Amino acid sequence: METIDLRAIPLTDAFARRIDYLRISVTDKCNLRCIYCMPEQGLPWIERAQLLRFEEIERLVRIFAGLGVSKIRLSGGEPLVRRDLDRLVAMIHAVKGIEEIALSTNGILLEEQLPSLMAAGLTRVNISLDTLREDRFEALARRPGLDRVLSGIDAAVRAGAEPVKINCVAMRGKNDDEIGAFARFAREREVAVRFIELMPVRENLGIAADAYIGAEEILECISGAESLRPITGPPGNGPARYFGFASGRGSIGVISPLSHDYCERCNRVRLTADGRLRLCLFGENHLDLRKALRDGESDERLCERLTAAMMVKPERHHLRVGEASSRMRAFSEIGG
């Protein structure tokens, strides 16, 4: 197909925010059942026929690239449970204008798949890890697998998938006694450990209000034992504030969607596994791109739809501690 190049008119929303970052959920399924994210019994999964095909995803990426989007992140659910993900990475890597392809994963399947993903063009990885204790891992994720996640982290560091970022949802009474251990984990390795404030979503309201820990309190817990200094931080598109150690290899980050939201700097939109373009992670307004694709709309018409959709992208979310967002499984999406 002919490549569309509209870089002279990059994708911009009504608040003059340049949109250059597209997050793509390739599946809604996950092999863990984290307590803040998903009910233990799972969810009604999207039917296979409703999932975007790789060719449809590639076409949308090409159109977004023509509108100035240069950064792609693949997520889920757990993206590594979708078969042949390396083929999709290679397809996206071949799109003109795409400079970065990142992956958000829980790390369970990472070690075995990483070589083929890196060969296909994967740039870097974010790995979710909320505890360094095996018994607690099973309690929080409702599945075993800490050893496999740690092996995946080590494999990513060895493979040079830099920067390797570890995302930890901090929860009072659940894992807050490990904040210092995670700081040491970062100091001893070439990784960035980022603590994410617990966000209130539909499935975790039973714990969210009591378990919430703000970013400043997290930093205070660390600074009591470590000498931290603000740093620019590793490359990427996420909203973290970073801190380095007086001596050590890694870094610490905090992501604070509640206490210090970063909506004014939002540069992203998200494509769901069934082809809906969500303009805000916590909003319900969306554009059904799967229907447009399967109805045979032209690239030019899809460009017009995307440009118009940016005009209704909200200025900010309105999450508050103890109040629900109707969105679920947001934690894999928030830490870019």
Query: Residues 241-257: pLDDT tens digits?
Result: 898 888 778 898 988 76
Q: Look at residue 184 and tell me if it is in a domain.
A: yes
Q: Look at residue 4 and tell me if it is in a domain.
A: no
Q: Look at residue 101 and tell me if it is in a domain.
A: yes
Q: What is the pLDDT of residue 140?
A: 94
**Structural domain of residue 100, as residue ranges?**
21-334
Cβ partners under 8 Å of residue 288, min gap 6: 275, 276
Instruction: Inform me whether the pLDDT recorded for 230 exceeds 70.
Output: yes
Count of CB atoms within 10 A of residue 1's CB?
8
DSSP 191-244: EEEEEEEPP-BGGGHHHHHHH---HHHHHHHHHTTS-EEEE--SSSS---EEEE
Q: Residue 86: pLDDT band by 50, 70, 90 thresholds?
A: very high
Q: Look at residue 140 and tell me if it is in a domain.
A: yes
What mean pLDDT do residues 261-266 have? 69
Q: Residue 263: pLDDT band by 50, 70, 90 thresholds?
A: confident
Q: Residue 1: pLDDT band by 50, 70, 90 thresholds?
A: very low
**pLDDT tens digits, one per residue of 165-209:** 999 999 999 999 999 999 999 988 889 999 998 876 555 445 556
Q: What is the pLDDT of residue 180?
A: 92
Q: What is the pLDDT of residue 208?
A: 53
Q: Residue 251: helix, strand or coil by DSSP?
A: strand
**How far is it, in rounded angstroms, from Cα 11 to Cα 28?**
27
Q: Look at residue 316 and tell me if it is in a domain.
A: yes
Q: What is the pLDDT of residue 234?
A: 74
**pLDDT tens digits, one per residue of 284-298:** 678 999 999 999 999
Total domains in the chain come to 1
Q: Residue 261: pLDDT band by 50, 70, 90 thresholds?
A: low
User: Which is more confident, 244 or 153?
Assistant: 153
**pLDDT tens digits, one per residue of 37-61:** 777 776 778 999 999 999 999 999 9
What mean pLDDT do residues 111-117 have? 98
Instruction: Inform me whether the pLDDT recorded for 321 exceeds 50.
Output: no
Q: How far is CA 180 from the centre of its chain?
A: 24
Q: What is the pLDDT of residue 221?
A: 84
Q: Look at residue 292 and tell me if it is in a domain.
A: yes
What mean pLDDT do residues 197-226 have? 72
User: Which is more confident, 250 or 130?
Assistant: 130
Q: Look at residue 259 and tell me if it is in a domain.
A: yes
Q: What is the CATH number of the domain that holds 128?
A: 3.20.20.70
Instruction: Inform me whether the pLDDT recorded for 80 exceeds 70.
Output: yes
What mean pLDDT do residues 302-322 have? 78
Q: Look at residue 16 and tell me if it is in a domain.
A: no
Which position has the token pair 């992203």?
A: 268
> How many CA atoms lie less than 13 Å away from 314 in the CB half-sphere?
14
